[in-house]
């Protein structure tokens, strides 16, 4: 929502008149009306009517985004910023550290887990997890 007080137009009237006295209050078209260079009979008025029906395109106010070959706009930021690998924010290093600590803490339960993994009907995923955990028991 816009802020900063009321928007008072400079040129047009604040309020349009009624009926035949009505006029634009938004400042008018953003570009001047154009004329055809060599119109046939009736084309000029039709062309003017078409232009008045829709707002004209304005020049883009923002510069185009940089291309792939342009120099970086953030030269001190790692390429892996924002992705879950390598240096930069959102790196997996912190997650990997926590996982390493958790695996070391679970090693003390390894004898009971080995026993459960050898039981009939134990899911294959649990058996693989126990094998994975054994790699941390060193």
List, for residues 48-71, the tens digit of each pLDDT value. Answer: 888 777 665 666 677 777 888 888
Closest CA to 109 of 81, 72, 137, 82: 137
pTM (two decimals): 0.34
Average pLDDT over residues 73-100: 75
Residue 134 near residue 110 (C-beta atoms within 8 A):
yes
Question: In this structure, what token pair is assigned to residue 54?
Answer: 């829709």
- Which pLDDT value is given to residue 20? 76
CA torsion 28-34-35-37 (nearest 10°) is 180
- Which pLDDT value is given to residue 125? 95
- Which pLDDT value is given to residue 124? 95
Q: What percent of the chain is modeled with pLDDT above 90?
A: 17
Answer whether residue 114 shows pLDDT above 90.
Answer: yes
Question: In this structure, what token pair is assigned to residue 88?
Answer: 């930069």
**Average pLDDT value over all residues in the chain:** 77
- Which pLDDT value is given to residue 126? 93
Answer whether residue 118 shows pLDDT above 60.
Answer: yes
């Amino acid at each position: 929502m816009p802020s900063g007080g009321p928007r008072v137009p400079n040129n047009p009237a604040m309020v349009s008149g009624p009926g035949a006295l009505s006029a634009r209050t938004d400042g008018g078209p953003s570009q001047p009306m154009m004329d055809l260079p060599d119109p046939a009979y009736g084309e000029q008025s039709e062309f003017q009517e078409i232009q008045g029906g829709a707002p004209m395109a304005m020049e883009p106010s923002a510069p185009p985004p940089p291309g792939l070959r342009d120099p970086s706009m953030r030269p001190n930021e790692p390429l892996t910023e924002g992705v879950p690998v390598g240096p930069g924010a959102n790196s997996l290093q912190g997650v990997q550290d926590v996982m390493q600590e958790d695996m070391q803490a679970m090693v003390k339960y390894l004898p009971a887990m080995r026993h459960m993994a050898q039981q009939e009907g134990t899911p294959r995923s649990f058996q693989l997890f126990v094998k994975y955990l054994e790699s941390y028991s060193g």
